[in-house]
Amino acid sequence: MKNFFKRLRSTVFKKTNFKTFFFFLFFSVLIWVLVQFSKNYRQVISINVEYINAPKDKIVKKKNDAFEVRMNDNGFNIAWFSFLKPSIQVGLDDLEVREDYLVYKLEENKLELQQQLDIDLEELTFLQDTLAIPFVQKKVRKIPIKPQIEVNFAPGYSSNEELVIKPDSIQVSGASEEIDSLKYLYTEKLRLTNVQNDLSGRVRLDTIDKKHITFYRNEVNYSLKVEKFTEGRAEVPIEVINAPSNINLSIFPKQVVVTYGVSLENYKTLNKNGFKVICDYGEVSGNQTFLIPKLVEKPAGVTSSRLNINKVQFVIKK
């Protein structure tokens, strides 16, 4: 027996070229694979869906989905899409609404799907007609905006006006319990220093702790008219109020100096008689011998004011 195997090895295998044998074997298998994959097959393929651009007034409960198609194509394309796991994006901002579902009709959107998948959809059969996307209707409210903008003027500059925010309110949407709790929206904090010129710009809204609320806009415009200002002085008589009619009250001084800030534009036309300073005798207690002067009226255009004294002496004459 041992001699038989020796003779077989020395005659048959010695003359065989193994490299040539395996080359033809591989080539034959390759031809077979190409022939088989060139044939048409019918295969069910799942296509993943990502939902984007949800309507601002709705809370969409699904972010991802999938649907199945029956593909009639050659084996190469079927194998490609089977392993690739194709996916598409579906925008939700303009879909039909049915009760509490958004409806995406696959047949009506064949062209859009074909552009995303790069498949000849004539070779596809949808195994369902539509995608139903459940949602919850958001509550929509218009909320006023409060600025958090600090303005520090350069010396000699100020403004007679309030900082203007446009728009002064915006629409937001979200779950009822969150929307109903909102009284104001705030801008991000902004500090402007050494201001000498009219202000205008944009500031973002503070949305950090409001992740589940949809803002219909994320920033607003602000503006403020800035003017050159100067200081003026006016001597104003002091008026005593609430003094009993049966006493003879005398005060010293009888006038007070008011130092005020006003724009250069309004300085010459300012009516100094528009200042009014009073002392309230009704606030006197015990053995108190002085009154507290208060500036209770001032002309339009005055931005700052102060009195040169904070006490007025009085005596009651008999």
Q: Is residue 194 part of a domain?
A: yes
Shared domain for 63 and 118, answered yes or no, is yes
> What percentage of residues in the chain have a pLDDT greater than 90?
46
Specify the number of domains making up the chain: 3
Shared domain for 205 and 249, answered yes or no, is no
What is the C-alpha separation between 86 and 49, in angstroms, rounded? 9
Contact, 123 vs 92, CB < 8 A? no
Q: Is residue 18 part of a domain?
A: no
Report CA-CA distances (Å) from 71 to 15, 43, 49, 104, 264: 50, 5, 17, 21, 81
- Domain boundary (75, 108, 137) is at 137
- Domain boundary (169, 199, 225) is at 225
Amino acid 19: pLDDT? 61
List the CATH number of the domain containing 119.
2.170.120
Contact, 64 vs 48, CB < 8 A? yes
Amino acid 145: pLDDT? 96
Over residues 56-66, the mean pLDDT reads: 86
What tens digit of pLDDT does each residue of 93-111 get?
A: 889 998 889 999 988 888 8
Question: Residue 15 is inside which H or E element, if any?
Answer: none
List the CATH number of the domain containing 209.
2.170.120.40
Contact, 276 vs 295, CB < 8 A? yes
- Domain boundary (225, 251, 268) is at 225
Shared domain for 46 and 126, answered yes or no, is yes
Shared domain for 43 and 105, answered yes or no, is yes
Q: Is residue 6 part of a domain?
A: no
Q: Is residue 24 part of a domain?
A: no
Q: Supply the angle between the helices 18-38 and 75-84 in degrees, to the nearest 10.
A: 90
What tens digit of pLDDT does each residue of 67-97 get?
A: 887 766 555 565 566 666 778 899 998 899 9
Report CA-CA distances (Å) from 234 to 210, 253, 284: 51, 15, 27
What tens digit of pLDDT does each residue of 111-131 get?
A: 888 788 776 666 667 888 899
Q: Is residue 2 part of a domain?
A: no
Shared domain for 295 and 277, answered yes or no, is yes
What tens digit of pLDDT does each residue of 136-189 get?
A: 888 889 999 999 999 999 998 988 889 999 999 999 988 888 888 899 999 999
What DSSP state is assigned to residue 187?
Answer: B
Over residues 288-301, the mean pLDDT reads: 93
Report CA-CA distances (Å) from 310 to 195, 243, 277, 293: 32, 19, 12, 6
Shared domain for 217 and 257, answered yes or no, is no
Shared domain for 92 and 50, answered yes or no, is yes
| Residue (of 66, 55, 56, 132) closest to 101 by Cα position | 132
Q: Is residue 21 part of a domain?
A: no
Q: Is residue 289 part of a domain?
A: yes
Shared domain for 112 and 123, answered yes or no, is yes
The three-class DSSP label of residue 86 is: coil
pTM of the model: 0.57
pLDDT bin (cut points 50, 70, 90) of residue 256 is very high
Shared domain for 56 and 43, answered yes or no, is yes
| More confidently predicted of 59 and 153 | 153
pLDDT at 10 over 60: no
Shared domain for 159 and 235, answered yes or no, is no
List the CATH number of the domain containing 300.
2.170.120.30
| Residue (of 278, 287, 177) closest to 236 by Cα position | 278
Count CB neighbours of 182 within 10 A: 14
Q: Which domain holds residue 57?
A: 38-137
| Residue (of 13, 78, 9) closest to 39 by Cα position | 78
Shared domain for 89 and 59, answered yes or no, is yes
Q: Is residue 249 part of a domain?
A: yes
CB-based contacts of 234-240 (< 8 A; 24+ apart in sequence):
234/258, 234/260, 234/272, 234/275, 236/272, 236/275, 236/276, 236/277, 237/277, 238/277, 238/278, 238/279, 238/293, 238/312, 239/276, 239/277, 239/278, 239/279, 240/278, 240/279, 240/280, 240/281, 240/291, 240/314
